[in-house]
Amino acid sequence: MKVYKTEEIRNIALIGNAGSGKTTLAEAMLFEGGVINRRGEVSAKNTVSDYNQIEQDYGNSVFSTLLYTEYKGKKINILDTPGMDDLCGSVVSSLHVTALSLLVINTTNGIEAGTEAAARQAEKADTPLVFVFNQLDQDNSNFESALDQCKNTFGNKVTVVQYPVDAGSAFSSIIDVLKMKMYKYGSNGGKVEILDIPDSEKDKAEELHNELVEMAAENEEALMEMYFDKGTLTEDEMRVGIKLGMLERGLFPVFCTCAKKDIGIGRLMEFITNISPAPNEKKMSAIASGQEVKMDASESPSLFVFKTSVESHVGEITYFKVMSGTIKEGLDLINTTTGNKERLSQLFISAGKNREKVDELVAGDLGCTVKLKDTKYNHTLSTKEADVKFEKIAFPTSRITVAMKAENNTDDEKLGEILNKIKYEDPTYIIEYSKELKQLLVHGQGEYHLNILKWYFDHIHKIEVNYLTPKIPYRETITKIAQADYRHKKQSGGSGQFGEVHMIIEPYEEGSEPKKMIKIGDKEQKLAHRDIQEHELPWGGKLVLVNSIVGGSIDARFIPAILKGIMEKMEEGPLTGSYARDIRVYIYDGKMHPVDSNEISFRLAGRHAFSDAFKNAGAKILEPVYDLNVWTPSDRMGDVMSDLQGRRAMIMGMGSEKGLEKISAKVPLKEMNKYTTSLSSITGGRGVFNLSFSAYEKVPADVQDELLKAYAKEQEGE
């Protein structure tokens, strides 16, 4: 294969709802470009893109797949992405390395939840869009309805370049108002005839042509002046304006296809090669560190890894974009993320699982390599001199969390190893072991996302795993002052153990000062402040220890041991065994023995005294409360609000944003289990939300009673 120059390369992503026909469109583009000589079908499980077993079992794309085709002297790199929003990580990484997205729409369904989700990701990535109205051969396809929905959702930026003459089972002709020609195909596709527009369509075509001219002219002052002078623009002038509008996301051209019959594909590819931005015409990825580089073949070589995957018989495959220079086989580069040296022993261009070996790739091209030592997604490879590091892909935050447990305990270690590899293939799986909850937690994008993970354990790794409801990281604290003392005394021949500690505990509030006098019952206790220690707790909050010993009743060398005993009990609160926080402790008296006192004695005395005081200090359970933002269609607003109220949510505000109603609330984490599934069900998949930790707040009395009973039952069971 020839080495394409940067300006001859086009990088595009196919995005849209599942079932819109993205994989079939990719197949048609590869066929049109001569990369394949026979078009596969999703139903026949023989497409170039969906080659993984799981994709063939599920009947839709699960991963982004890198493909390429050639057309009229240009190379088009294609990333075919999944349509399920649970798999949005692949969409995000694909948009990071492409300069144009084809938003594929099934004209029988119009705008769907996945269409909106994909468009949101493209907007975040600031990626130009072309709307591809697909499946126009279906009996119930409706171009006008789909177009109206697009305009209502995305505004008048949606601009017709093509429209069908006869959408439905007889679909075979497209009017192109940029070329002002009719493209006519056979009943089953095949060779195209380019004809004059028939009289019956001339008025409509002229009207849409004029609209397109106006939209193109608006994007440059010189074009606007030409338009005012001549009343129109030439095709070449329109191309300039359309391209400028697309780059600014001020114009979204509409094209018509039936990918299954190869109708409209060649013209779409012609538009991509003529008007789609080359890699160096889109804003360069931000540089996190190192010197500035240009997307130019003459620059020092660098590349950015946007995806890693593992295939049987091949091993780990690293997919990258050449950011600068020319990458050649055998080139040594530095991984600026890890500092390790990597050799590119082989270079490939990829058409699904079919990879063609090449000698070099230039700036802007997409390719892959194998057998790198320690290079993963989001890593940069560059020469030592450049030492550049490109900004990482920002993957979406998790929307669902489950605990995972192997059915057989002997598989626990293997389970951890497999999850550690999977998170590199799909970075939207976040894996952590919670020491506090004693659970292996998996954070994902939704139930479909988690089902895919389980499929791997069932079919590939042959390990039976279960999903469990994750425990909630409660906290415990106190609400009033309490006093306790404890004497630890043990005599068993020889030197014994003796330590006595008197302490007072009170709730700690940020900025409050230690008291110098505290009333316990009818007695007032005067407190000295010999030493004050503030300890930031790893789990949040503080422990403040005030050494109020006077007269040397406890030697200062035993204070650290008392603190250790208190901390042991702070890690296991008496109500539910959760971490305790925000407590001030005064050690004001005690006793020592000249022979038997030692650190362990005072550690145990401090621990027991703290525990006794805690139980009498109005102990309360705190729960994590999160800030929740929900975006929902207006007709589902009432149902979403009702559902939130049932989750103990406190509504903080409401408003409108980008055609959706926005609800802001505070909600306990305990009530958010499987919320992504509930919201999807309520809103028909169109609702979206995000969560961020807000604070720990006291649980209501009835909830505390439930938690105490559950903990007591759990302790009995153990």
Residues 462 and 481 in one domain: no
The confidence score (pLDDT) of residue 168 equals 87
The confidence score (pLDDT) of residue 405 equals 94
Mean pLDDT of 398-421: 92
**Predicted confidence (pLDDT) at residue 420 exceeds the cutoff of 90:** no
Q: Which two tokens stand for residue 165?
A: 């003459």
Residue type, 171: F
Mean pLDDT score across all residues of the chain: 93
Q: Which two tokens stand for residue 596?
A: 């038997």
Establish how many alpha carbons lie within 13 A of residue 483's alpha carbon, considering only the half-sphere containing its beta carbon.
13
Kind and range of the H or E element at 636? none
Query: What are the start-end ranges of the H helices in 101-163?
Result: 113-124, 143-154
Query: What is the rounded distance in angstroms from the CA atom of residue 127 to the CA atom of residue 123?
Result: 6
Tens digits of per-residue pLDDT, 169-189? 889 999 999 999 999 998 777
Give the Å distances, CA to CA, from 140 to 117, 170, 283.
24, 12, 41
Domain end (from 585, 612, 639): 612
Residue 709 lies in a domain: no
Residue 236 lies in a domain: no
Residue 336 lies in a domain: yes
| 197 — pLDDT class (breaks 50, 70, 90) | very high
From the CA atom positions of the chain, what is the Rg in Å?
A: 33
CATH number for position 413: 3.30.70.870
Query: What is the rounded distance in angstroms from the CA atom of residue 173 to the CA atom of residue 167?
Result: 9
Task: Estimate to the nearest angstrom the gap between the alpha carbon of 224 and the chain centroid.
Answer: 41
Tens digits of per-residue pLDDT, 303-329? 999 999 988 778 899 999 999 999 999
Q: Which two tokens stand for residue 500?
A: 């006595």
Query: What is the rounded distance in angstroms from the CA atom of residue 252 to the CA atom of residue 131?
Result: 7
Residues 421 and 360 in one domain: no
**Predicted confidence (pLDDT) at residue 1 exceeds the cutoff of 80:** no
Residues 520 and 606 in one domain: yes
Tens digits of per-residue pLDDT, 562-585? 999 999 999 988 889 899 999 999
In this structure, the number of other CB atoms found within 10 A of the CB of residue 309 comes to 20
Residues 416 and 493 in one domain: no
Query: Sign of the CA dihedral 95, 98, 100, 101?
Result: negative
CATH number for position 506: 3.30.230.10
Residue 714 lies in a domain: no
* Nearest to 658, CA basis, from 102, 17, 123, 107: 123
In this structure, the number of other CB atoms found within 10 A of the CB of residue 469 comes to 12
Give the Å distances, CA to CA, from 440 to 45, 316, 396, 398, 578.
35, 25, 21, 15, 17
Residue 316 lies in a domain: yes
Domain end (from 612, 639, 662): 612
* Nearest to 516, CA basis, from 507, 503, 504, 529: 529
Residues 127 and 28 in one domain: yes
Mean pLDDT of 373-378: 93
**Predicted confidence (pLDDT) at residue 642 exceeds the cutoff of 90:** yes
Of the two residues 710 and 606, the one the predictor is more confident about is 606
Residues 169 and 41 in one domain: yes
Domain end (from 428, 448, 468): 468
CATH number for position 32: 3.40.50.300
**Predicted confidence (pLDDT) at residue 718 exceeds the cutoff of 70:** no
Contact in structure between 272 and 10 (CB atoms under 8 Å): yes
Query: What are the start-end ranges of the H helices in 231-296?
Result: 235-247, 265-275
**Predicted confidence (pLDDT) at residue 190 exceeds the cutoff of 70:** yes
Q: In 98-235, where do the E strands start and end? A: 100-106, 129-134, 158-160, 162-164, 173-176, 181-186, 189-195
* Nearest to 445, CA basis, from 487, 490, 397: 397
Residues 66 and 168 in one domain: yes
Mean pLDDT of 594-611: 94
* Nearest to 663, CA basis, from 690, 681, 685: 690
Mean pLDDT of 214-225: 90
Query: What is the rounded distance in angstroms from the CA atom of residue 276 to the CA atom of residue 100?
Result: 7
Contact in structure between 182 and 195 (CB atoms under 8 Å): yes
CATH number for position 329: 2.40.30.10
Residues 97 and 162 in one domain: yes
Residues 361 and 407 in one domain: no
Entry pTM: 0.89
User: Which range has the worst mean pLDDT, 133-137, 302-306, 683-687?
Assistant: 683-687
Residues 64 and 199 in one domain: yes
Q: Which two tokens stand for residue 183?
A: 């493209």
**Predicted confidence (pLDDT) at residue 350 exceeds the cutoff of 90:** yes
Residue 220 lies in a domain: no
- Domain boundaries, position 639: 621-703
Total domains in the fold of the chain = 5
Residue 422 lies in a domain: yes
Query: What is the rounded distance in angstroms from the CA atom of residue 484 to the CA atom of residue 589?
Result: 11
Tens digits of per-residue pLDDT, 652-668? 999 998 778 999 999 99
Establish how many alpha carbons lie within 13 A of residue 295's alpha carbon, considering only the half-sphere containing its beta carbon.
24
Tens digits of per-residue pLDDT, 434-443? 999 999 999 9
Residue 216 lies in a domain: no
Residues 496 and 591 in one domain: yes
Residues 644 and 602 in one domain: no
* Nearest to 362, CA basis, from 338, 326, 395: 326
In this structure, the number of other CB atoms found within 10 A of the CB of residue 230 comes to 11
Query: What is the rounded distance in angstroms from the CA atom of residue 692 to the CA atom of residue 628?
Result: 7
Q: Which two tokens stand for residue 243?
A: 């391209």
Query: What is the rounded distance in angstroms from the CA atom of residue 665 to the CA atom of residue 696?
Result: 15
* Nearest to 107, CA basis, from 162, 149, 78: 149
